[in-house]
Amino acid sequence: MTDAPAKLTVVGANRLTPTQRRIVSVLMHAALLTVSVFMLYPLLWMLAASFRPENEIFTSASIIPSEWSLDAYVRGWNGLRTGFGTFFTNSFIVSILSVCGNVLACSMAAFAFARLNFRFRSFWFAMMLMTLMLPYQVTLIPQYVLFRQLGWVNTFLPLVVPKFLAADGFFIFLMVQFFRGLPKELDEAAQMDGCSPWRIYWKIIMPLSMPVLATAAIFTFIWTWDDFFGPLIYLSEMKSYTVMLGLRTFTDSTGESDYGGLFAMSVLSLVPIFLFFLFFQRLLIEGIATTGMKR
């Protein structure tokens, strides 16, 4: 990352004096900082608003509250018939099960595509790539009918079971790319020693693929956590709501009168994602750069 740009400055050096270069650099930092502030201001403002006393939320656009208060969090947490504690628990259950399903099922499919030979492999791979482009609306209604007939509506199953069936092709693709980069000799040597494909997958490929598995796990967690549409159509009882549904109900019922509580719960709902961002930023950014994921 650092090599290439350094070269470029050398090119610039042919034409600009050191002072000019410094001015250009200061101007660019100023421009980028301005853009950053504009972009992040709404987030900071929401954070600040959640700590403001109720009467002060709309009175100023400034970031710093005159006094810090946790009232909004207390009000928001218990603002609905069912507390946000339940919603958070539900979201964690759904997200963690989804992570397990995606990592397991997608890595199995990716192992087959990347490391095993079987008839029609490239045909199935092409089919898998096609599903990446498919708008989910096309399968939505029959899937809903199916899950309804199975009696799965109002359970987490419609949200979780598809993950165990590797329904998210993006991660298969991501893992195939990674597995293909591992030396083929590993499998061959293991096969000579009488290792079954299952053992090769579990004992050799998986341990070597921790970076890509972690990337898939984190993105699955974030996307499932954020998912609104799935819970919206499949969960109708408040005790099974996820955080996103809880927030939506909050906006409908008390949101207009209690913006403080709404903001406090919104901020809380972003905390898990923000923590992933803080600790695994590098992994996420590399994941996007290599596969071009949508978010």
Partner 1 sequence: MTARSLESGAPARERAASPSLWARIWQNDAPGYLFLLPWLIGFFGLTIGPIISSLYLSFTDFDLLTDPNWVGASNYVRMFTNDPKFLASMRVTMVFVIFSVPLKLAFALAVAMLLNRGMRGLPLYRALFYLPSLLGASVAIAILWRQIFAREGLVNDFLSIFGIVGPSWISTPQYSLWTIIILAVWQFGSPMIIFLAGLRQIPQDMYEAASLDGASKWRQFVKITLPLLTPVVFFNAIIQTIEAFKSFTPAFIISGGTGNPINSTLFYTLYLYQEAFGFFRMGYASALAWVLLALVGLFTAFSFLTSKYWVHYDD
* CB 94, min distance to partner 1, A: 15
What one-character-per-residue DSSP string does 132-171 give?
A: HH--THHHHHHHHHHHHHTT-TTSSHHHHHHHHTT--HHH
Q: Does 54 sit near partner 1 (CB under 8 A)?
A: no
Q: H helices then E strands: how many in the chain? A: 15, 0
The only residue of 13, 30, 70, 134 in contact with partner 1, by rule CB under 8 A? 134
3-class DSSP state for residue 118?
A: coil
The only residue of 92, 204, 277, 283 in contact with partner 1, by rule CB under 8 A? 277
* CB 259, min distance to partner 1, A: 7
Question: Within 101-120, which residues bind partner 1 (CB under 8 A)?
Answer: 105-106, 108-109, 111-113, 116-119
Residue 46 contacts by C-beta under 8 Å, 6 or more apart in sequence?
A: 263, 266, 267
Nearer to partner 1, 93 or 128 (CB): 128
Q: Which one of 71-79, 82-90, 100-108, 175-183 is the stretch in contact with partner 1 (CB under 8 A)?
A: 100-108
* CB 239, min distance to partner 1, A: 19
Q: Does 20 sit near partner 1 (CB under 8 A)?
A: no
Closest CA to 187 of 179, 292, 1, 77: 179
* CB 93, min distance to partner 1, A: 18
Q: Does 292 sit near partner 1 (CB under 8 A)?
A: yes
DSSP-derived letter for residue 165 is T
Residue 75 contacts by C-beta under 8 Å, 6 or more apart in sequence?
A: 258, 260, 261, 264
Q: Would you state the torsion angle of the CA atoms of residues 140, 144, 146, 147, taken in this order, to the nearest 10 degrees?
A: 130
Which token pair is 84?
A: 């946000």
Question: Within 213-242, which residues bind partner 1 (CB under 8 A)?
Answer: 222-223, 226, 228-229, 233
Q: Does 192 sit near partner 1 (CB under 8 A)?
A: no
The only residue of 42, 183, 194, 207 in contact with partner 1, by rule CB under 8 A? 42
The only residue of 9, 20, 89, 253 in contact with partner 1, by rule CB under 8 A? 9
* CB 183, min distance to partner 1, A: 20
* CB 124, min distance to partner 1, A: 7
Closest CA to 166 of 108, 113, 228, 215: 108
Single-letter amino acid, residue 95: S
- What's the chain's length in residues? 295
Nearer to partner 1, 71 or 226 (CB): 226
Q: Cα-flanking dihedrals φ and ψ of residue 68, to 5°?
A: -90, 135
Exposed/middle/buried for 63, CB within 10 Å: 0-12, 13-18, 19+?
A: exposed
Q: Does 67 sit near partner 1 (CB under 8 A)?
A: no
Binding track, positions 138-167, relative to partner 1; x by CB under 8 A: xxxxxxxxx-x-------------x-xxxx
Q: Which one of 64-72, 80-88, 190-198, 206-214 is the stretch in contact with partner 1 (CB under 8 A)?
A: 190-198
Q: Does 251 sit near partner 1 (CB under 8 A)?
A: yes
Number of residues counted as binding partner 1 (CB under 8 A): 102
Which element (helix H / strand E) includes 197? helix 197-199
Q: Which one of 38-46, 69-77, 82-90, 92-100 is the stretch in contact with partner 1 (CB under 8 A)?
A: 38-46
153, 147 contact by CB (below 8 A): yes
Count the alpha carbons within 13 Å of 171 in the hemisphere toward its beta carbon.
31
